[in-house]
A and B are shown apart, each in its own frame.
Chain A
Amino acid sequence: DGGITQSPKYLFRKEGQNVTLSCEQNLNHDAMYWYRQDPGQGLRLIYYSQIVNDFQKGDIAEGYSVSREKKESFPLTVTSAQKNPTAFYLCASSRLGETQYFGPGTRLLVL
């Protein structure tokens, strides 16, 4: 099946801990994106990447980091510097300049 997968579905973070959210796609898309969704709000862009080994900050990159070592994978690390990480995180991918398609999301909760 072609698509975008995200894991885990739920993730719990302890104080001061870094956690990593996985995003994988087998659609052969060049571009990948990470969004954050807070209750009752739309999506806000954290990071995006249009090519392997290159990525750009979005509107709310502080406290997050990413890597793009493979075309298929774009993991997001929520660092201890992110003071309010509780949210729903969505990964998307697209051909360059084309429609974005989304994964099922990861719900991050702070213990």
Chain B
Amino acid sequence: AQTVTQSQPEMSVQEAETVTLSCTYDTSESDYYLFWYKQPPSRQMILVIRQEAYKQQNATENRFSVNFQKAAKSFSLKISDSQLGDAAMYFCAYTYRGGNNDMRFGAGTRLTVKP
């Protein structure tokens, strides 16, 4: 069974600094997607970034980038120039492309941004 592990329950960062959130996953499949979702206090789940496993290039979206290490099954999220609005729960998620698209989520990392 596929599992997703986020080993950092809480992280904090100073405003304008950089922070990296960790995620590891376990799968025997080779074609899959990995995601980072943000859940602010409103509890709406917002897609931050997506990585396709067959692409070697790391995905980037403005201040958000990932470090995808397929062999190590590692998928970390880097937030640059952190802003107060980045404070939220961040969830790493996995889905196998050839399956039913049901996603597996990690337990989440709570990010605090200090002014």
> With an 8 A cutoff between CB atoms, is B103 at the interface?
yes
Which residues of the partner chain B approach A100 to less than 8 Å between Cβ atoms?
A: 95, 101, 103
How far does the alpha carbon of A100 sit from the alpha carbon of B50 in the complex, in Å?
11
- Chain B interface category by residue count: 20 to 34
When C-beta atoms are compared, the residue in chain B nearest to A101 turns out to be B47
Closest to B95 in A: A100
Which of A41, A48, A98, A100 has most chain B Cβ within 10 Å? Answer: A100
Q: In residues 95-115 of chain B, which contact A (Cβ within 8 Å)?
A: 95, 97, 100-103, 105-108
On whether the beta carbons of A104 and B101 are closer than 8 Å, the reply is: no
CA–CA, A48 to B100, complex, Å? 9
Q: How far is the CA of A37 from the CA of B44 in the complex (A)?
A: 12
Across the interface, A42 reaches (CB within 8 A) one of B46, B101, B108, namely B108
Q: Which chain B positions have C-beta within 8 A of A104?
A: 42-44
Q: B102 to A58, Cβ gap below 8 A? A: yes
A22 within 8 A of B: no
Complex CA gap A99/B34 in Å reads 10
A-B contact count (CB 8 A): 55
Q: Does A74 contact B (CB under 8 A)?
A: no
Contact B107 A41 (CB under 8 A): yes
Give the A-binding residues of B (Cβ under 8 A). 4, 33, 35, 37, 42-47, 50, 91, 95, 97, 100-103, 105-108
Q: List residues of chain B with CB within 8 A of the CB of A25.
A: none
* A88 CA to B42 CA, complexed, in Å: 12
The answer to whether B107 touches A42 (Cβ under 8 A) is yes
CB–CB A41/B108 < 8 A? yes
Query: Which of A94, A103, A105 makes the CB contact (< 8 A) with B101?
Result: A94
Instruction: Report Cα–Cα, A21/B73, bound state, in Å.
Output: 36
- Given A41-B107, A43-B105, also A88-B100 (CB < 8 A): no
**Chain B residues positioned under 8 Å from A96 (CB to CB):** 101
A66 at interface by CB-CB < 8 Å? no
Considering the complex, give the chain A residue whose CB is closest to the CB of B35. A99
Q: Is A90 an interface residue (CB 8 A)?
A: yes
B108 — nearest CB in chain A belongs to which residue?
A: A42
Q: Does A11 contact B (CB under 8 A)?
A: no
CB distance from A20 to the nearest CB of B (A): 20
